[in-house]
């Protein structure tokens, strides 16, 4: 660093750079957060250019929290996973979209707290539910060091390079803060900024720039910007931020603040320089929550950004701790959405789509219409019965609804606008993708393609199911690799997996030689399996692990199962008419039989034998449900032991449940068992039952 001239009145470069950073941070906060600028834009730009020039002349003065670092320019190869010190949990959604939904939440809270009508109202904080992307910002010694997406709540992605471009997010906190501070909030795009962004995109498209497109809605544009590997692209999108909570914070004994209420916490966030929505209010009792819901609903379209509801949180942090969580969702908070938005449009065609699990869904192709924050061109008709009930036909004028991220649907037809001659919709009885039979089982509303091992629409799902740990198990064969293998054309059916060589795998993007060799080894290892695992891995509808084990024990050999009549299948323990017909339909498809034979030819094998002699099992006919974490057994181990003893292990509690085995952190299943009067036991009692 150069030595300052002692006889000059000019400040040293380091002093001037520090002063410029302080001025620019101050004015950015006034402009972007407080909406109260003190200087013209031209003056801000002059100060910014001066700092840029100073840092260019003296690179040693450049700091990570400099305002010049918001312009982007960093290009990453991939995102780094970030494990949240405090999980970013989801909030339960109130299903009643009317104002009474607020009363429902207040009633649940009061009941959980043991309050009576004589007790005073509970105090809440009511906030807006922003339609953006959840974000966690980590500050250390007042400096932003990391921005991470929510991800699955436990692990997100490091997007610090893009978060730095958001001008409402302070790079350095303007006031004293704890040593470690994680601020939770929402990254979003204002409606006017979204329209300006799309205008620029349309201009690029008109100019013939390749690869450009307009954005569907503000949320997708914001999410796409946050997840750019090139921060220069993110910097071109005018993202905004609202803070609404905290994650990790320095403990009290090391200088961290102590909050008694959620509202106090929000006001501290504001003091630290973060934008907090001005509509945030403290409400006492259900009546004030209802008033807030109605007030925001009436002004929703006037807001400069999209929201899809409001959020209520118990204000007292002590009461929040008392209420706790259920199924990893806080009992002390709820998201209360507004009724769906609807628009009129025209049906241009009715197509049938095949889902990853083989479900056939009629889809109305629509004249583009803007509804619920997006331009809608497709709307689900759900199934043939629903399409017939609504009587949706080609050319009809229909009402389309979209709520939040829910798939748009046709609500109703305006028959008075129908043109003559439109035919009634009929579901095809063959899969439109692979030509296999499309079957509709008794008591069900959906048609399904029966060519599960052959149908290209189900290819990825079939491979992932086959390769999962409790089926044939191909270690390392996860979603992203399957996507690459299928999309590249390297794998079309299950047997193609076993025809893959090292070269084919190593040539895939981001596939190192060691990883490719590991997959080759895992595929070879998976060839040695068991008949129950293989049967389960085929993905036959209604054939879960327990049924696969029963089939293997009863028949002993795969060929006997493949050739068994419905009557013979009905002799198997717990196999009823629906399951028997599903098995028969699956093996009646030549495509499926061909895939099975090819898998055998590729070396997939298992031990076979004579049918097992039926034996009396201690827990035969009993139904168990598992919930929570057990002291010595995993859920899978407990399930295996119960099934080996003849019990059925169900996923939900009903009046037919005999026992609920509850461990630590048991959730809603335990509550339902208690409500229904179902016997609740612990792991020790379960082991005692297994011993007879």
Q: Which residues are catalytic?
A: 129
- Phi, then psi, of 493 in degrees rounded to 5: -135, 170
Three-state DSSP at 338 gives coil
371, 342 Cβ separation under 8 angstroms:
yes
Instruction: State the SS3 of 142-172.
Output: CEEEEEEECCCCCEEEECHHHHCCCCCCCCE
CA-CA distance, 686 to 690, in Å (whole number)? Answer: 6
CA-to-CA distance for 186 and 508, rounded, in angstroms?
35
CB atoms within 10 A of CB 512: 9
Computed on alpha carbons and rounded to an integer, the radius of gyration of the chain in Å comes to 30
Closest to 104 measured CA to CA, from 293, 318, 315: 293
Count Cβ atoms within 10 A of the Cβ of residue 353 and give its class: 0-12 exposed, 13-18 middle, 19 or more buried: middle
For 60, residues 6+ apart whose C-beta sits below 8 A from its C-beta are 1
Helix/strand/coil for 413: strand
Neighbours of 286 (CB within 10 A): 22
Task: Pull the structure tokens for residue 195.
Answer: 């329209």
| Side-chain half-sphere CA neighbours of 354 within 13 A | 26
Residue 330 belongs to what H/E stretch?
A: strand 329-330
Neighbours of 143 (CB within 10 A): 15
Report the residue count for the chain. Answer: 692
Distance CA 425, CA 662 (A): 48
Are 399 and 412 in contact by the 8 Å Cβ rule? The answer is yes
- Among candidates 350, 586, 334, 573, which has minimal Cα distance to 453? 586
């Amino acid at each position: 660093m150069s030595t300052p001239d002692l006889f000059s009145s000019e400040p040293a470069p380091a002093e001037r750079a520090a002063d410029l950073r302080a001025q620019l941070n101050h004015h950015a906060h006034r402009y972007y957060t407080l909406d109260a600028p003190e200087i013209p834009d031209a003056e801000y730009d002059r100060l910014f250019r001066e700092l840029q020039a100073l840092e260019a002349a003296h690179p040693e003065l450049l700091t990570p929290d400099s305002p010049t670092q918001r312009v982007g320019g960093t290009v990453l190869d991939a995102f780094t996973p970030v494990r949240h010190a405090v999980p970013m949990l989801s909030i339960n959604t109130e299903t009643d979209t009317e104002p009474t939904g607020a009363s429902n939440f207040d009633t649940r809270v009061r009941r959980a707290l043991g309050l009576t009508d004589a007790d005073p109202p509970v105090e809440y904080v009511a906030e807006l539910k922003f339609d953006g992307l959840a974000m966690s910002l980590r500050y250390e010694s007042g400096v932003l060091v990391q921005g991470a997406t929510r991800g699955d709540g436990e692990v997100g992605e490091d997007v610090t390079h893009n978060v730095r471009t958001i001008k409402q997010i302070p790079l350095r906190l303007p006031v004293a803060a704890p040593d470690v501070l994680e601020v939770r909030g929402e990254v979003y795009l204002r409606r006017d900024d979204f329209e300006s962004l799309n205008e620029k995109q349309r201009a690029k498209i008109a100019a013939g720039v390749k690869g450009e497109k307009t954005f569907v809605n503000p949320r997708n544009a914001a999410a796409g910007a946050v997840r750019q590997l090139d921060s220069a692209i993110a910097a071109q999108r005018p993202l905004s931020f609202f803070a609404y909570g905290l994650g990790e914070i320095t403990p009290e004994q090391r200088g961290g603040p102590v909050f008694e209420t959620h509202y106090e916490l929000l006001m501290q966030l504001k003091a630290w320089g973060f934008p907090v929505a001005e509509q945030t209010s403290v409400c006492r009792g259900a009546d004030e929550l209802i008033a807030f819901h109605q007030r925001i609903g009436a002004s929703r379209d006037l807001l400069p950004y999209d929201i899809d509801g409001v959020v209520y949180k118990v204000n007292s942090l002590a009461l929040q701790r008392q209420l706790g969580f259920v199924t990893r969702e806080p009992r002390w908070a709820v998201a209360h959405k507004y009724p769906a938005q609807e628009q009129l449009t025209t049906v241009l065609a009715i197509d049938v789509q095949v889902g990853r699990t083989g479900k056939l869904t009629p889809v109305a192709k629509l004249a583009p219409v803007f509804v619920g924050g997006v331009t809608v061109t497709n709307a689900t008709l759900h199934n043939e019965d629903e399409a017939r009930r609504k009587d949706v036909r080609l050319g009809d004028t229909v009402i389309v609804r979209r709520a939040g991220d829910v798939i748009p649907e046709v609500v109703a037809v305006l028959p008075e606008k129908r043109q003559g001659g439109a035919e009634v919709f009929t579901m095809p009885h063959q899969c439109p993708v692979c030509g296999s039979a499309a079957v509709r089982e008794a008591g069900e509303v959906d048609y399904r393609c029966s060519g599960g091992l052959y149908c290209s629409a189900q290819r990825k799902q079939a491979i992932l199911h086959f390769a999962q740990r409790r089926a044939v198990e191909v270690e390392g064969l996860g979603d992203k690799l399957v996507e690459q293998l299928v999309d590249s054309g390297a794998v079309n059916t299950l047997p193609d997996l076993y025809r893959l060589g090292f070269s084919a795998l190593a040539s895939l993007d981001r596939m190192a030689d060691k990883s490719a060799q590991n997959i080759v080894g895992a595929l070879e290892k998976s060839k040695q399996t068991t008949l129950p695992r293989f049967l389960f891995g085929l993905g036959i509808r209604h054939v879960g692990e327990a049924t696969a084990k029963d089939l293997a024990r009863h028949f002993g050999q795969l060929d006997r199962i493949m050739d068994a009549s419905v009557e013979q299948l009905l002799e198997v323990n717990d196999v009823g008419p629906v399951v028997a017909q599903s098995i028969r339909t699956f093996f009646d498809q030549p495509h499926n039989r061909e895939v099975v034979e090819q898998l055998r030819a590729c070396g997939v094998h298992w031990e076979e034998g004579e049918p097992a002699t039926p034996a009396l099992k201690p827990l035969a006919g009993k139904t168990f449900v598992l919930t929570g974490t057990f002291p010595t057994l995993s859920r899978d181990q407990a399930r295996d032991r119960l099934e080996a003893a003849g019990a059925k292990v169900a996923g939900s509690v009903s009046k037919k449940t005999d026992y609920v085995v509850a461990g630590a952190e048991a959730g809603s299943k335990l509550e339902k068992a208690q409500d229904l009067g179902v016997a609740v036991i612990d792991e020790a009692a379960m082991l005692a039952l297994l011993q007879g």
